[in-house]
Amino acid sequence: MQKILEYRGISKFFPGVRALDDISFKAEGGKVLALLGENGAGKSTLLKITSGDLKADEGQLMLNGEELRLSDPHAAIKAGISVIYQERQLFPSLSVMENIFSGELPKTKLGLYDKKKLYNDTKELIAKFGLNIDPQEKVGMLNVAYQQMVEIMKAYRRNSDVIAFDEPTAPLTDIEIKVLFNLIQELKKEGKVILYVSHRMNEIFEISDEIVVLKDGKFVGTYATAETSEPELIKAMVGRDIGDTYSGLSRNKNIGDVVLEVKNLKTAAIKDVSFKLHAGEILGFAGLVGAGRTETVRAIFGADAVLGGEIFLNGKAVQFKAPKDAISNGVLLCPEDRKEQGLVMWRSIKDNIAMPSIDKLSKFIFVDQKAVSALADKAVEDFSIKTPTVNKMVSELSGGNQQKVILGRWINDQVDTKVLILDEPTKGIDVGTKAEIYQLICDLANSGIAVILISSELTEVINLADNIVVMRNGRVTGTLAGAEATEESVLALAMLN
């Protein structure tokens, strides 16, 4: 019997927002159905209803002809539904094997914890994924890519009828993506219902059979992947043609003096990194997962201890012992993991944007709330953050809008930004918003701000960066002029022995 997941008239309301408005469509077993839409279109809300994290205010969720009444995520798992979210839901202090089998640890006949079986079962699953991970390793010690693979293995071993993937490849290398896609093909053959959310169009066309487009919480249509095109889908998502994402960007032709210079930087993760960053320059950092790009900028920002080398800001030697020192000197970071490192999820948009500027927005010991609100209101307007109020919790925003909140924190009239470090700034952001972010990055460079851009999407680095630093295993293997760089030349340096 073919498995069918059906959404019938699903609506969801939040204060001042109709997040979902009468959504109806079917997802059939043995097919991959991609969910596509701009940030704020309702994809995440729909997945949370599917997983039992949220309850629909109207409508029905049906599985194989029976209505599901999901009180919580555990009920969804019991009903045969697994959702792998973009933000991982793991226990950092527990081992890989304990995370994968959480809630269902194997026991002996005497009812005792069977560690040997747990280890062997996990090792077998890891081998199926072709990974090099110790089952006993603490999850918190793994890099972001391996943590994501643990999340995927956790869902895979449940043998669910429905598996939903929310931006699963964002932190993965091409090799790991290939492993994931092979597994999805196996799941298709087994007749599973597969939902796949991604902003990467090439992935959508490679892995999906059908595509459902959402816009502003409403159902736009279902498209057969083989019979549609990228321009058609983009127009359905944004309501207009946007053309080439990189065309028409206003680039800076007047790059200035050196603002930041790094000489022979060393940390626990970095062996030897040197580069120069100029005023008005966009300096791209490329490399495979584990190359040390994020670790480099964390050291510069004062988040990781520097063990050797020198850092110069406007010709003066500096060493930031903590992020607050970097911030006070105008060196600012938008981190890769916005949920864990970039935002205080249980605070409002207003609080998150004003956080580094509170001293300037205070009189004596009192915070000027009007000034704080004005700052946040301007950021909402400047960055087109979709929210009914600046008092909304950032945890309730889509990933793209969360990223805009971080940008709004650093780019305002209260912050003297000299160096802006952007680590995966378009991760989980839709194609329409990407175009806005790209132009924003160029505008920042045009204003004289020195920009470091880290991205796993080579086309992004090549099209935006004036120069590209390529890393491998904690070292710089070469620097390329952006205008002359190709994917082949960057990868050759990234894979250099």
Give 300's pLDDT tier (boundaries 50, 70, 90): very high
Helix (H) or strand (E) holding 374: helix 369-382
**pLDDT at position 173:** 72
Residue 63 predicted with pLDDT over 80: yes
Do 196 and 330 reside in the same domain of the chain? no
Q: Is residue 440 part of a domain?
A: yes
Q: Is residue 165 part of a domain?
A: yes
Do 228 and 327 reside in the same domain of the chain? no
Q: Is residue 243 part of a domain?
A: no
Give 496's pLDDT tier (boundaries 50, 70, 90): low
Residue 62 predicted with pLDDT over 90: yes
How many domains would you assign to the chain?
A: 2
In this structure, which amino acid lies at residue 24?
S
Burial 397-409 (b: 16+ CB within 10 A, else e): bbbbbbbbbbbbb
Q: Is residue 358 part of a domain?
A: yes
Rounded CA-CA distance 52/55 in Å is 7
Give 240's pLDDT tier (boundaries 50, 70, 90): low
Q: Is residue 244 part of a domain?
A: no
- Check which CATH number belongs to the domain holding 487 and give it: 3.40.50.300
Do 455 and 309 reside in the same domain of the chain? yes
Q: Is residue 245 part of a domain?
A: no
Give 437's pLDDT tier (boundaries 50, 70, 90): confident
Rounded CA-CA distance 422/332 in Å is 9
Which of 204, 238, 272 lies at the terminal end of a domain, its last residue? 238
pLDDT in tens, 336-387: 888 778 898 889 999 999 888 888 878 777 888 888 889 899 999 888 888 8
**pLDDT at position 287:** 87
Do 324 and 227 reside in the same domain of the chain? no
**pLDDT at position 244:** 64
Higher-pLDDT residue of 112, 171: 112
Give 87's pLDDT tier (boundaries 50, 70, 90): low
**pLDDT at position 112:** 81
Do 462 and 338 reside in the same domain of the chain? yes
Contact (CB, 8 A) for 429 and 385 = no
Do 283 and 317 reside in the same domain of the chain? yes
Residue 497 predicted with pLDDT over 60: no
Q: Is residue 247 part of a domain?
A: no
Do 288 and 231 reside in the same domain of the chain? no
For residue 274, CA distances in Å to 260, 262, 296, 468, 475 come to 11, 5, 10, 13, 9
Do 351 and 468 reside in the same domain of the chain? yes
Residue 11 predicted with pLDDT over 60: yes
**pLDDT at position 317:** 95
Residue 193 predicted with pLDDT over 80: yes
Residue 436 predicted with pLDDT over 70: yes
* Phi, psi (rounded to 5 degrees) for 433: -70, -35
pLDDT in tens, 119-160: 999 999 898 887 888 999 999 888 777 888 888 888 888 888
**Percent of the chain with pLDDT strictly greater than 70:** 97
**pLDDT at position 492:** 84
Q: Give the lowest-confidence range in 174-188, 189-203, 464-478.
A: 174-188
Q: Whole domain around residue 186: which residue ranges?
A: 4-238
**pLDDT at position 206:** 94
**pLDDT at position 302:** 94
Do 106 and 135 reside in the same domain of the chain? yes
Residue 258 predicted with pLDDT over 70: yes
Of 448, 439, 322, which Cα lies nearest the Cα of 384? 439
Do 233 and 263 reside in the same domain of the chain? no
**pLDDT at position 243:** 57
Residue 21 predicted with pLDDT over 80: yes
Contact (CB, 8 A) for 146 and 179 = no
Which of 193, 209, 238 lies at the terminal end of a domain, its last residue? 238
CA dihedral in degrees (413, 415, 416, 419; nearest 10)?
A: -120
Contact (CB, 8 A) for 395 and 340 = no
Do 44 and 152 reside in the same domain of the chain? yes
**pLDDT at position 26:** 96
Q: Is residue 359 part of a domain?
A: yes
What average pLDDT does the chain have? Answer: 88
Residue 400 predicted with pLDDT over 90: no
Residue 363 burial (CB < 10 Å; 0-12/13-18/19+)?
exposed
Do 313 and 373 reside in the same domain of the chain? yes
User: Across 64-209, where does the E strand assignment appear?
Assistant: 66-67, 81-84, 162-166, 193-197
Which value, in Å, is the radius of gyration of the alpha carbons in the chain?
Answer: 23
Residue 59, Ramachandran bin (φ over 0: left; ψ between -120 and 50: alpha; else beta): left
DSSP string of 33-75? EEEE--TTSSHHHHHHHHHTSS--SEEEEEETTEE---SSHHH
**pLDDT at position 146:** 82
DSSP string of 412-449? STT---SEEEEESTTTT--HHHHHHHHHHHHHHHHTT-
Give 321's pLDDT tier (boundaries 50, 70, 90): very high
